[in-house]
Amino acid sequence: METRKVQFTGNSTYTVSLPKDWVKKMGIRAGDSLALTVAENGMLSISASIPELRNSRAKEFLIKKESPVHLERMLIGAYVMGFDSITVRAKDRIDNAMKERIRHFTRSVTGVEIVEESINSIVIKDLSDPLELSQEKGVRRLHLIVRSMQEDAISALLGSDVQLAIDVINRDYDADRLYWIIMKEHNMMMKNIGLAERLKITIDESNSYFQVARYLERIGDHAVQIARSVSELKGFETGADLRKKFAVAHSFAIKMLDGAMNAYFRKNVEEANQVIDQRDYLKTMLPDLSREIQKVRGEEAIMLALIEESIRRTAYYATDICEVSINYCMLP
């Protein structure tokens, strides 16, 4: 880190000299305009150009022996890291399995299209606008999606409804898509302070939205786990009393989730602590459910135990959201 002394010139002008090496590296000349961004913590950021809504960033993958699934994971990684141009190349040709996985990726994320395609290369562009969906709206929508998935998953258990369970599993793509958008916007803001300013959000706020979204996405994953277990329970006659106990425990976990989200958006520490304290009551409820599951045998018992664990994890992730809320409320 370099230091500079502040000079007072004229009647009201304060000046600070720029590092000579940086000026040469950036090609700055007398008369050029620089972008100054003031953060809430008092930090002053100087950029050699006026910050755009998003900086153009390109990523290229040269595929060799990667599996199509591994390639898709890398494409998702490039997307959430904010690359707006992604090129996939092969030495000879891109086979059909790779092409199909690339198209699956473009259908799984928002705002991405294939703009060029040849025998050995495919160019993907992210055409989305960060201003279209704020992180706050994204988190609110994600909460509604995963909550609906959770409710339908337990309804599928109570009604032995395999079709409803399959629908829950399919909706996981909607939750993932929103989560990736929120993660991408956070990563873009970390690299472009000007973007955060344009979106009227601080980096600390963005970080808290990202953390909450991560826990919500995991709650969605547990809705999928419940739904998959329900599908595997087809043909088993799980007792009505046991199903009812699952419903009671699950209802309490969802109540904790709703309380956590209310505390977060209201920035209410007291409400957040109340939800965290409710975890102790859940600990007294679940052992009774576990004892009932132990009376069941074979594959049915395994599936029911997985459902119980998903209910437990849903409640615990709700308390994690509350901790994010409390931490954020400590900021000035």
- pLDDT tens digits, residue range 51-65? 455 556 899 999 988
Any domain includes 266: yes
Q: CA of 299: how far to CAs of 74, 206, 283, 302, in Å?
A: 36, 43, 25, 5
In the block, tokens 């302070």 appear at 193
pLDDT beyond 60 at 31:
yes
- Quickly state the pLDDT bin for 238 (edges 50, 70, 90): confident
- DSSP lists the bridge partners of residue 90 as 63
Q: What is the pLDDT of residue 206?
A: 94
pLDDT tens-digit readout, 63-118: 988 899 999 999 999 999 999 999 999 998 999 999 999 999 999 999 999 999 99
Mean pLDDT of 176-197: 90
CB atoms within 10 A of CB 26: 15
Check whether residue 191 and residue 308 sit in a common domain: yes
Whether residue 289 is found in the same domain as residue 160: yes
- What per-residue confidence (pLDDT) applies to 74? 96
| Whole-number Å distance between alpha carbons of 269 and 267 | 6
Q: Identify whether 1 is part of a domain.
A: no
Please write down the long-range contacts of 90-97, taking CB distance under 8 Å and 24 or more positions apart: 90/62, 90/63, 90/120, 90/121, 91/62, 91/64, 91/120, 92/120, 93/119, 93/120, 94/63, 94/119, 94/120, 94/121, 94/122, 97/68
CA distance 211 to 325: 10
pLDDT surpassing 90 at residue 24: no
**Same structural domain for residues 172 and 275?**
yes
Interior/surface letters 101-118, b for 16+ CB within 10 angstroms, e for the rest: bbeebbebbebbebeeee
Alpha helix stretches (DSSP H) within 109-171: 135-159, 162-170
Residue 49 has pLDDT above 60, yes or no: no
CATH number, residue 117 = 3.30.110.20
Examine residue 169 and state whether it is found in any structural domain, yes or no. yes
Does any domain span residue 202? yes
Q: Based on the domain organization, do 173 and 261 belong to the same domain?
A: yes
**What is the span of the domain harbouring residue 41?**
7-47
How much is the pTM? Answer: 0.83
* Domain's final residue, options 95, 126, 157: 126
Total of domains in the chain = 3
Q: What is the mean pLDDT of residues 255-266?
A: 97
Question: Would you place residue 48 in the very low, low, confident or very high pLDDT band (cuts 50, 70, 90)?
Answer: low
Pair 78, 108 in one domain: yes
**Residue 240 shares a structural domain with residue 291:** yes
Per-residue model confidence as pLDDT tens digits over 216-225 = 999 999 999 9
Q: Residue 73's pLDDT is what? A: 96
Same domain, 175 and 200: yes
Report the CATH number at residue 162: 1.20.58.220
> How much is the pLDDT for 75?
97
Q: Is residue 2 part of a domain?
A: no
Give the percent of the chain with pLDDT over 70: 91
pLDDT in tens, 275-312: 999 998 888 888 888 888 988 888 999 999 999 999 99
Query: Is residue 206 situated within a structural domain?
Result: yes
Nearest to 198 by CA among 33, 52, 34: 52
Look over the chain and give the mean of its residue pLDDT values, rounded to a whole number.
Answer: 89
* Residue found under tokens 């699952």: 246
One domain, residues 233 and 316? yes
Q: Are residues 62 and 121 in the same domain?
A: yes
Q: Which one has a higher pLDDT value, 332 or 143? A: 143
